[in-house]
Chain A
């Protein structure tokens, strides 16, 4: 036994078996998802990269007209224009990444027969399903946030450099921005409107991916289309379709009825956690999530390769 004290690395013998037997397999299962699905970070990274290139080009075009750039800085705060667009584009990317990830998560392992390997490891189906649900519910928004903030920082520094090089003051840019506050608001927005709110959609996709033998997205969409269509014929209303739609685009109720000229992606327009948490729709959605995930765990137990 190593006598060198290592309080973190060596948990007490009594606590060790229970805690490591749960967290270690979970941690490695999440890591394995990231190994397999590199689009989780490559997609937002490449979008960020393309955006930066675009921003560079547009800035270099405008260097001839420094005044316009300077005015531009004064007219908008940081969340406006390019900064706003980059977070908006990133949120769209996030949504796509999560939808495609979830629709393949419990289907791909059956299709390529690797489920026989995963099931030969001492990991419960619950751990596996939770590790897969962690990707759209934690990892994807976190990655999107880090990359968005990084891109916005680089943009801010670039603008400052251009202004400074032309002998203009950057004080307005840095005083108006309150960069950290904006970043935290973006984090809040990503985890509420783009994670918790559409969570039932992700969990539904996970459930269907554990059941379907092919074309998961189609099978996931069919009941939605069927129920929506039935409602349209019988009641001549579109409530169900609208409901699913708002979940998908991340439009939480407190976002509705905002001044139409602000983009919904602008985090400044809706910082109302109390409002959000008191929405019954949120909690109904989360209960649905639990039901869908429980179904996915049960399905995975029964399913073999296809």
Chain B
């Protein structure tokens, strides 16, 4: 089942084009990572999906128009937009009461269970909690909602590695199952490498790469080439080359694994490596065009 379907999604803020005709399809049971540099349009895309901003083009989320039906949509969609947006004056117990009061799909017991695993006191005010604890609380609230789509926009920005690791661990272990769908944007791509099922790179409001993680692993290979093979490797049309400790590391798209193995040490690149390759190339192309 398709949860999100966008065709020609377009959004401009004044003269700045944030989304330049995006086509997007997210199926049920996927964990999609939307990766892109600052100002690429990730948050704009998510805000459109969540009904927070108007847009041009066609967009259906769970079969609804998010802009006109946000309140109904939010029964089945949860989101954490940015870290620490929970109201600072609220007490933890009030946050539980409030969500239990307004959300028909909230399971208070479940949220209490998640909170019991943390150091968060029920009587604390949110302003008294650390940034990491606020995120834990928000995640506990969100995971206790029986939603079909969870949208996370930079949910772990500014958190230390322990909180970040824990965040994605609990998301995978305590929340995700094949009937739920998660869309996440983050700059900390190394955190989500083993979490995602699908990957999408976005730049200047356009999707520049979209593939499943299985596809990613079979398509992209990185070879640390022995010095004598560098020229041969370059002839195979790598999409990116970088120097690691004095040795050339070349990234290939859809290359023959055995052929590459003869040139040096082959491995699956990290998302970060591919990101740099794809985004760097685009930057190069742009410069080339402008010259």
A: residues with CB less than 8 A from B are 21, 24-25, 27-29, 31-32, 35-36, 109, 112-117, 119-125, 127, 301-302, 304-305
Contacts and interface: CB of A to CB of B under 8 A. Distances in A.
A122 B86 contact: no
Nearest to A128: B71
Contacts of A302: 53-54
Contact of B74 (A31, A36, A122, A301): A122
Contact of B102 (A112, A115, A122): A122
- Majority SS at the chain A contact face: helix
Interface in B28-56: 47, 50, 52-54
A32 B98 contact: yes
Contact of A119 (B52, B97, B98, B101): B52
Contacts of A114: 85-88
B70 interface: yes
Contacts of B87: 36, 109, 112, 114, 117
Counting chain B CB atoms within 10 Å of each CB, which of A25, A36, A114, A124 scores highest? A114
A31 B72 CA distance: 22
Contacts of B70: 119, 124, 301
Contacts of A304: 47, 52-53
A305 B81 CA distance: 11
B81 A120 contact: yes
B94 A27 contact: no
Interface residues on B, range: 20 to 34
Interface string B53-89: 1100000000000000011111100111110111111
Given A36-B87, A112-B87, A116-B81, A28 B104 contact: no
B89 A35 contact: yes
Contact of B75 (A31, A116, A122, A301): A122
B103 interface: yes
Interface in B162-219: none
Interface in B87-134: 87-91, 94, 97-99, 101-104
A53 to B, nearest CB: 29
B72 A122 contact: yes
A115 B84 CA distance: 12
A40 to B, nearest CB: 13
Contact of B78 (A24, A116, A120): A120
B102 A28 contact: yes
A24 B102 contact: yes
Contacts of B52: 116, 119, 304
Contacts of B82: 113, 116
Nearest to A27: B101
A123 B81 contact: no
Nearest to B74: A122
A117 B139 CA distance: 12
Given A120-B78, A121-B103, A35 B85 contact: no
Contacts of B50: 119-120
Contacts of A115: 85
Contact of B85 (A117, A123, A124): A117
Contacts of B101: 24-25, 27-28, 31
B103 A117 contact: no
Contacts of B94: 32, 35
Nearest to B75: A122
B74 A121 contact: yes
16 contacts: A28-B97, A28-B98, A31-B101, A35-B94, A109-B87, A113-B85, A114-B87, A116-B79, A117-B85, A117-B87, A120-B50, A120-B80, A122-B73, A122-B104, A124-B71, A304-B47
Contacts of B53: 302, 304
Contacts of B88: 112, 114
Nearest to B67: A301
A21 B71 CA distance: 11
Contacts of A127: 71
A9 to B, nearest CB: 15
Contacts of B138: 117
A109 B87 CA distance: 8
Nearest to A25: B102
Closest 3 CB pairs of A and B: A28-B101, A122-B74, A114-B87
Given A28-B98, A304-B52, A304-B53, A122 B103 contact: yes
Nearest to B100: A28
B176 to A, nearest CB: 19
Contacts of A123: 71, 74, 102
Contacts of B74: 119-123
A292 B84 CA distance: 31
Contacts of B84: 113
Contacts of B47: 304
Given A112-B87, A304-B53, 6 more contacts: A32-B94, A114-B86, A117-B85, A119-B52, A125-B71, A304-B52
Contacts of A305: 85
A116 B79 CA distance: 9
Interface string B132-151: 00000010000000000000
Nearest to A124: B71
Contacts of A35: 89-91, 94
Contacts of A113: 82, 84-85
